[in-house]
Amino acid sequence: MSLAHYLAVVKGKRLPLWWRSKFLAVPDNFSSLPTEQLWQLHDELTKSLRTKKRGNEPTQQAGKSSLLDLKIELTRRIYRSCTLCPLVCRTDRLNGEMGRCGLKADAHVFRDGLLVSEEPFIVPTHELFLAGCNMRCKFCQAWEGIVRTKLGFKLTGSKFASAVELKAKQGALNIHFVGGEPTVNLLAVLVSLKSLDLPLPIVWNTNLFATDEAMKLLDGVVDLFVADFKFGNDECAQAVGGVESYVATVQNNLLKASQITSLVIRHLVMPGHIECCLEPVVSWVAQNLPKVTFHLMLNYVPDWKAWRDKALSRRLSQSEKQTAKAIVKSKGLKRVLISE
């Protein structure tokens, strides 16, 4: 999907998907259903959000259960033996066990601010940096929220609502979840949305290293995916990002994200990773999602553990920047943004 859905929400011509989920009624006894039936109900209702032409008409009576409640219940069940991402820890996060993302059930916002330096159609944007991540990119610029997952304030409905209302008054166009990785914080985000009475679009700034179940839960919540396609092959993903089976997972989820809602794909060009990462990433996008907005990021800065990696311990050279631009141009992508 192009940016049309997201832009229509920003202009007030459509309601955000999470808002519609919040007001789409489900039977009050839904939480007694077995998980398989709950998924069936979830999938049918989520699909109906997309098939309704305008979708501006809330159907929920005050006090009744909604599709958002159903998503919360499914996420809770997943947290009991966590499979939200391909690391499949199977830890009981509701019972105080910690997954490889460093998280139990709670979420912490380690930075919160109004930013103007992102893609032009999302700024000014209210970014909430959520602690915890399922990847360990050596160059991570948000590493303080990866190693200290209780930094900042605990995400609760009331704190979230007051933070969003304040930033909206200051001009924020959207609510922008970033990390770390927002998907590994899904339960706290969904619960917090219940307390919010402001229909702003949700931007989900993600590594898309997520399972099918997580992608289904995000469907009907996210209005714009800003997705990093970081590595062009599994060897680099393992060596630099610390995860296995990366490429197929992310490609699959990019295709899904493009069917669910609006999508922007980012690629941060890493020094020494032009042929192995940038080239295959751009080729795949050009072949599979040629109309999607592609953001080529040439502003790599070594951080965290990058200093220990010979290739990653420097900025991009001018010749690498020129080569990166030439590769993107040669593949014929329709919508390209470049930041240096």
Site residues for ligand SF4 per CB under 6 A: 82-85, 87-89, 91, 93, 99-101, 103, 134, 184
Minimum CB separation of residue 89 from ligand SF4 in Å reads 3
- Let me know if 331 is exposed, middle or buried by CB neighbors in 10 A (0-12, 13-18, 19+): middle
Minimum CB separation of residue 95 from ligand SF4 in Å reads 12
From residue 265, how far is each of 32, 50, 58, 249 by CA, in Å?
A: 39, 22, 31, 15
Minimum CB separation of residue 104 from ligand SF4 in Å reads 9
Copy the structure tokens of residue 260: 């669910």
Q: Which one, 190 or 324, has the nearer CB to ligand SF4?
A: 190
Q: Which one, 187 or 296, has the nearer CB to ligand SF4?
A: 187
Minimum CB separation of residue 210 from ligand SF4 in Å reads 8
Q: DSSP letters along 49-104, please?
A: HHHSSS-----PPTT--BHHHHHHHHHHHHHTT--SSTT-----GGGT---TTS--
Counting every residue written for the chain, the total comes to: 340
Q: Which one, 216 or 273, has the nearer CB to ligand SF4?
A: 216
Rounded to whole angstroms, the Cα distance separating 61 from 63 reads 6
Of all residues in this chain, which one has the CB nearest to ligand SF4 in the complex?
A: 99
Minimum CB separation of residue 77 from ligand SF4 in Å reads 13
Q: Which one, 103 or 140, has the nearer CB to ligand SF4?
A: 103
Q: Which one, 50 or 80, has the nearer CB to ligand SF4?
A: 80
Rounded to whole angstroms, the Cα distance separating 102 from 111 reads 17
Asked if residues 100 and 134 have their Cβ atoms less than 8 Å apart, the reply is: yes
